[in-house]
Chain A
Amino acid sequence: ETGVTQTPRHLVMGMTNKKSLKCEQHLGHNAMYWYKQSAKKPLELMFVYNFKEQTENNSVPSRFSPECPNSSHLFLHLHTLQPEDSALYLCASSQDGAAVALASTFGSGTRLTVV
């Protein structure tokens, strides 16, 4: 474990389902991130939270809804997803959200399959 824990590790959901991904960091970091990693595509930054405030939304469709109740927890709520949303969703954290590339600690990811 890296200090960033993601659950579940694997998720299969139908297009009409609602599910949530959970991320928890035990590193005392102030910034948390959601990334999407699809096959044969670059890693894509989705959302950035710094001190619980969302500071970045990279044109992510509204069927993905993030929530950050405190600096240690981050959720990604999913509803009415499409098959092309199937990917590995990675959570990450860093000490300082101003330098987003220093997201040096990633969780193990949730492998999401939309059927």
Chain B
Amino acid sequence: QKEVEQNSGPLSVPEGAIASLNCTYSDRGSQSFFWYRQYSGKSPELIMSIYSNGDKEDGRFTAQLNKASQYVSLLIRDSQPSDSATYLCAVNSDDKIIFGKGTRLHILP
């Protein structure tokens, strides 16, 4: 059973600090990794994708991938109250997508 694990949270981070969200996956053959943001009562929105080891930056967001450790993370710099949401990690392997349960992030004003 291929799995994607996330800490459900809530993760509370002061405004302006760095929020760090983590995800581990079980299928060593996974090739594509994604982070979605889902506001309460809304649908998921793709915010980052990463395919190779290392860091990928987009504005205040940085995705980090370590395939050897089967670990992918999302860093949010200068956290804002508007970043409060559930963040879903998704892994694509063998043309199937598996989502984690999501981590609830709460930015404290």
Contacts and interface: CB of A to CB of B under 8 A. Distances in A.
A100 B46 CA distance: 13
B69 interface: no
Contacts of A104: 46
Interface string A84-115: 00000010000000111111101111000000
A45 B88 CA distance: 14
Contact of A101 (B43, B97, B101): B97
Interface majority SS (helix, strand, loop, mixed), chain A: loop
Contacts of A99: 32, 92, 95
A25 B102 CA distance: 26
A106 to B, nearest CB: 4
Interface in A1-55: 2, 40-45
Contacts of A90: 43-44
Residue from the set B43, B99, B100 with the largest chain A CB neighbour count within 10 Å: B43
Contacts of B45: 2, 106
Given A42-B4, A99-B95, A108-B42, 9 more contacts: A42-B98, A42-B99, A42-B101, A43-B88, A45-B96, A58-B96, A98-B95, A100-B95, A103-B46
5 closest residue pairs by CB, A with B: A101-B92, A106-B43, A43-B99, A104-B46, A42-B99
Interface of A: 2, 40-45, 56, 58, 90, 98-104, 106-109
